[in-house]
Amino acid sequence: MEGEIEGGVFLRLTELSLEYRYSFKVSLPDYLPSLRKLKILRCDQLMPLLPRAQSQQMDVALPALEILDISCIERHELLLEGGLPSSLKHVKIDRCNKLKALNEDVFQRLTSLE
């Protein structure tokens, strides 16, 4: 099963949790203006988050994102191709063995990180 979540439908979405989606291929829309919390757990077929967004556009694509929790992603190296939005306050990345290290510049932009 494959799909793309359409952004226009979810403009007011504040929390999104994708859990245990082993065979469902999905990518997020380019613009989720109200999303504050994103949790991804054991979604091995998940496409890179916001694959078309560049690092400078992450603040536009996810301007309200404060909490990012990514756990147990076994197959992906570049889940966060577009970097991280500067609005983040809490970041948890756990048991993502193939995830390549994020560039130091990514964390320097996170001025709200607690």
pLDDT score recorded for residue 48: 63
List beta partners, residue 32. none
* 92 sits in which H/E element: strand 90-94
Q: What is the pLDDT of residues 58-80, one digit of tens each?
A: 788 889 999 999 888 877 665 56
Dihedral sign from CA coordinates of 61, 39, 96, 106: positive
For residue 50, what are its two tokens? 């916001």
pLDDT score recorded for residue 13: 92
pLDDT score recorded for residue 38: 92
pLDDT score recorded for residue 77: 64
For residue 62, what are its two tokens? 């996810």
Three-state SS at 57: helix
Q: Do 44 and 19 form a contact (C-beta atoms < 8 A)? A: no
pLDDT score recorded for residue 93: 86
Q: Do 55 and 62 form a contact (C-beta atoms < 8 A)? A: no
Residues of the chain with pLDDT under 50: 1-4, 7
The pTM of the full predicted model, rounded to 2 decimals, is 0.77
